[in-house]
Amino acid sequence: MVENLAEKRRIFIVLGAFVALGAVTPFLDLFMQSLVTEILVFGILAMSLDLLLGFTGLASLGHAAYFGVASYTTAIIMTKEDWTWTFAAFQWADSLGLGLFYIFIFGLVVALAFAAFFGFLAIRAVGVYFLMITLSLAMVIWGLAYRWSAVTEGDNGINVLGRPSLFGISLESEIPFFYFTLAVFLICLGLMYMFVKSPFGKTLVGIREREERMQMLGYNIWLHKYLAFIIAGVFSGVSGVLWTLFNLFVSPPDIELITSAEALFMVALGGPATLVGPVIGSAIIRSLQQFISIYVERWPLILGAIYIITIMLGRLYGVEGILGLFGKFRKPAASPETPEG
Amino acid sequence: MTNGQQGLELESVTKHFGGLHAVEDVNLRLNLGERRGILGPNGAGKTTLFHLITGVLPLTSGRIRLFGQDVSGWPTHKRVALGMARTFQITSLFPKLTVLENVLLAVQGLRKMKMVMLKPLYKYKDVYEKAEKLLTDVNFWHLRDQEVRNLSHGEQRQLEIVLALASDPKVLLLDEPSAGLATGESHEMADFLKSLDPGIAILLIEHDLDVIFEVVSHISVLHYGEVLAEGPSDDIRNDPKVQEIYLGKAE
C-alpha cells in the first residue's frame, strides 16, 4: 500500500545520478560544464511541460511563453535603469545579497500571471484547438519581445551584465553557477515529484485517461486543468529565469515557436509522464545541438532520425520514450504474471 | 406532492437537437430507496435523459430537482456532490490504471483532499481503507494491481458500478449495466444489483428484460423521447401498447 520498493530504488538511482553529475562536472572542460548547466535549465522546462503533456494529456505548443516572459522579466529588471523603482529595488535587494530571490520572485509572479490569463483562454479547448490556442498565445509573447523594442530592445535582445551573488557567493564563474542551477533543478524535481504523487496529481492522470468519468465522479475538470496549467507555467518560468542568468543574454529567437516545439520533443523523446525522461530528452537534444552542429549543418535531421527510431521502437515494445525502452531492455523478463487481456 | 422522501424529480424535461425531439416532456419521480426502470427501444432518448439528469447536456426546457433542490442549471460535478452517481453504457473506466487506482480516484472524488498537491496520496489511510472495503465487497481485492484493460468485460461492467458506489450516492443512475454480457453474467449482474444497499434509489436503463423485471418495481417506457407508459412492472409487462412497440419485437 505504501510506496513500494521499486519506487524507492528508482528515487535512489535518480538522486545517485545527480550526485554523480555534481561530482564529475568540476573536472570537465568549460564547454562541457556550460553544456551540463544548459541541459539542466532546459530539463526544468521539459519537466514542467511533462506535467501538462505527460500527466494531464494537454499538448501545449506554447510552453515557451512563460519561459519567455520570465527570462525577459529577469533581463529587464536587471538592466532597465530608467524604470526607476524596479531597478532601484533590484539594486537594494542585491546589496543585501538577496538579488537572486528578488529576480526569482518577480520573474515567477509574472510567469504565473501570464499562465493564469492564457490558461483561462486556452483550457476550454481540447486537442488540436488547445494546441492552436497555446501556439498563438505564445506567438503574442514572441511578437511583444520582437516589436516592443522600448522595453525588450527588439531584435537586438538584452545583454545582462553579470549575475547577482547568492549570500555573498559569486556565481559569475561556471562552477558555482552550475551548482546553483543543480540545486534549483533538484528543488523543482522534488516539488514536481511530490506534485504528481499527490491526490491532485492523480486526478490529472484520471483526466488524461477519461475525462467524462472524472466529471461524473465529482471533479471540476476545468479547475484541475487550469491549476495544472498555471503550475506548469510557473515551473517553466523558473527555467526562463535561469536561462537569462545562464546565458546573460535574451533575444526573441530564444522564446520562439522552436523552443516550445523542442520542449515537446524532449518530453516525447525521453518518456512522457516520467519527469526524469524529459530531462534525458533535454540532454540528448541540447548535446546534439552543441556537438553535431559543429560538424553537420543540418543537425535537426539527425535529431529527427533519433526521434523516429525511438517512437518506432516504442510502438514495437508498447512503451513510450527512451526511459520506457530502457526499462524494457533492462529486465526483459519482467512480466511474471501479466494476464492475457 | 413534496415530501421528505424526495430523491430525483423531473418536471416536463425536454431536449431538442435542432428539429430532433430527443426527449419530450418527460415527468418522472424517484423517491429515496425506490428502484425504477426505464425501458425503450434504441434511440428512444434513454441515455440522453441521463445526460440531462447529470448535467452533461443542458435542458431545452423543464426542471430537474434533486433532493428537493432545483439543479437544472448546475454543472455536473455539483450535482454529483449532492449525492448522485452514474455508470456508462459504454464502459468508461481508466483503462491504463490499476483496479485500485481506479477506485482511489472514485473515492477521493467528493473529498476535499483531492486538491492537496504536496502530500502523497498513499498517506491518506482512510481513502485506501474505503477503496479496500469497496473492492473486498465485490471480491475484487485480489485484482487490485491489475490494469483495468486486462480485466474481462464482465469484471469491467461490475467495476463501473463499484466506481459509482464509491461516493456513497443516494441516487444511482445505471445505464445498461448488463450491456454486452452473456445470459449467465446478466443474471449475476441482476443479483449484484439486488444486493446493493436498499437505501440507494436506482434509476435503471436496461435492454435485458430479465434484469429489469428482476431489479425494479416501477417502469417508465420511453418511445421517441416521450413517456408512453408508466406504472408497476407487472402492469407494464401486460400493457398491450408496450408489448407492441417493445416486447413484441422479440429477438
Domain assignment of residue B104, yes or no: no
Q: Regarding beta strands B84-86 and B171-175, do their DSSP bridges make them parallel or antiparallel, or are they unpaired?
A: parallel
Rg of chain A over all Cα atoms, to the nearest angstrom:
20
Domain assignment of residue A87, yes or no: yes
In this structure, are residues B135 and B162 in contact, taking their beta carbons and an 8 Å threshold? Answer: yes
Quote the minimal CA–CA distance from B225 to chain A in Å. 23
Residue that has been written with the C-alpha cell 480516484 in this structure: B105
Q: How far apart are CA A62 and CA B201, in angstroms?
A: 47
Q: How far apart are CA A87 and CA A77, in angstroms?
A: 6
Nearest by CB to residue B77, choosing from A191, A202, A218, is A218
Domain assignment of residue A284, yes or no: no
Report the first-to-last Cα separation within chain A, whole angstroms.
25
Q: Which amino acid is at A119?
A: G
Q: What is the pLDDT of residue A162?
A: 86
In this structure, are residues B7 and B34 in contact, taking their beta carbons and an 8 Å threshold? Answer: yes
Cα distances from A283 to residues A10, A55, A190, A278, in angstroms, run: 19, 21, 19, 9
Tell whether A337 lies on the interface with B, counting CB pairs under 8 A: no
- Asked if B81 lies within 8 A of A197 by C-beta distance, the reply is no
Domain assignment of residue B125, yes or no: no
> Is A62 in a helix, a strand, or coil?
coil
User: How many domains, in total, are found in chain A?
Assistant: 1
Give B129-170 pLDDT, tens digit per residue: 999 999 999 999 999 999 999 999 999 999 999 999 999 999
Rounded (10°) CA dihedral A178, A194, A68, A293: 50
pLDDT one digit per residue (tens) for chain A, 341 residues: 446 788 888 899 999 999 999 999 999 999 999 999 999 999 999 999 999 999 999 999 999 999 999 999 999 998 887 777 778 888 888 888 788 999 999 999 999 999 999 999 999 898 899 999 999 999 999 999 999 988 888 888 999 988 888 887 888 888 999 999 999 999 999 999 999 999 999 999 999 999 999 999 999 999 999 999 999 999 999 999 999 999 999 999 999 898 999 999 999 999 999 999 999 999 999 998 888 877 877 888 888 898 899 989 988 888 888 888 888 777 654 444 433 33
Domain assignment of residue A265, yes or no: no
In this structure, are residues A151 and A143 in contact, taking their beta carbons and an 8 Å threshold? Answer: no
Q: Regarding beta strands B201-205 and B171-175, do their DSSP bridges make them parallel or antiparallel, or are they unpaired?
A: parallel
Read off the C-alpha cell for B176: 445498461
Domain assignment of residue B127, yes or no: no
Q: What is the pLDDT of residue A336?
A: 40
Domain assignment of residue B194, yes or no: yes
- Asked if B163 lies within 8 A of A1 by C-beta distance, the reply is no
Domain assignment of residue B193, yes or no: yes
Q: How far apart are CA A81 and CA A161, in angstroms?
A: 13
Residue that has been written with the C-alpha cell 446478466 in this structure: B186
CB atoms near residue A227 (< 10 Å):
18
* Domain harbouring B172, CATH code: 3.40.50.300
Tell whether A340 lies on the interface with B, counting CB pairs under 8 A: yes
Tell whether A117 lies on the interface with B, counting CB pairs under 8 A: no
Contacts of B121 in chain A (CB under 8 A): 197-199, 201-202
Domain assignment of residue A77, yes or no: yes
In our burial notation (b when 16+ CB lie closer than 10 A, e otherwise), range B38-66 reads bbbeeebbbbbbbbbbbbbbebeebebbb
Contacts of B114 in chain A (CB under 8 A): 199-200, 203, 219
Q: What is the pLDDT of residue A315?
A: 87
Q: How far apart are CA B105 and CA B88, in angstroms?
A: 17
Q: Which residue of B54, B93, B105 to mutate against A (max A Cβ within 10 Å)?
A: B105
Q: What is the pLDDT of residue B3?
A: 47
pTM of the model: 0.92
Domain assignment of residue B140, yes or no: no
Quote the minimal CA–CA distance from B92 to chain A in Å. 6
- Asked if A341 lies within 8 A of B150 by C-beta distance, the reply is yes
Contacts of B90 in chain A (CB under 8 A): none
Report the first-to-last Cα separation within chain B, whole angstroms.
40
Q: How far apart are CA B230 and CA B218, in angstroms?
A: 7
Q: What is the pLDDT of residue B246?
A: 66
> Is B155 in a helix, a strand, or coil?
helix
Strand residue runs (E) in chain A: 158-159, 249-250
Domain assignment of residue B99, yes or no: no
- Asked if A218 lies within 8 A of B96 by C-beta distance, the reply is no
> Which residues constitute the domain of residue A75?
34-255
Q: How far apart are CA B123 and CA B108, in angstroms?
A: 13
Tell whether A272 lies on the interface with B, counting CB pairs under 8 A: no
In this structure, are residues B187 and B128 in contact, taking their beta carbons and an 8 Å threshold? Answer: no
- Asked if B86 lies within 8 A of A216 by C-beta distance, the reply is yes
> Which residues constitute the domain of residue B54?
6-89+152-247
Domain assignment of residue B76, yes or no: yes
> Which secondary-structure segment (H or E) carries A329?
helix A321-330
In this structure, are residues B62 and B25 in contact, taking their beta carbons and an 8 Å threshold? Answer: yes
B:112-151 residues touching chain A, CB 8 A cutoff: 113-122, 124, 127-128, 146-147, 149-151
Angle at B153 between CA B151 and CA B155, to 5 degrees: 60
Task: Extract the residue ranges of chain B whose pLDDT is less than 50.
Answer: 1-3, 250-251
Tell whether A202 lies on the interface with B, counting CB pairs under 8 A: yes
User: How many domains, in total, are found in chain B?
Assistant: 1
Quote the minimal CA–CA distance from A224 to chain B in Å. 8
Q: How far apart are CA B171 and CA B80, in angstroms?
A: 9
Nearest by CB to residue A218, choosing from B120, B149, B167, is B167
Tell whether B74 lies on the interface with A, counting CB pairs under 8 A: no
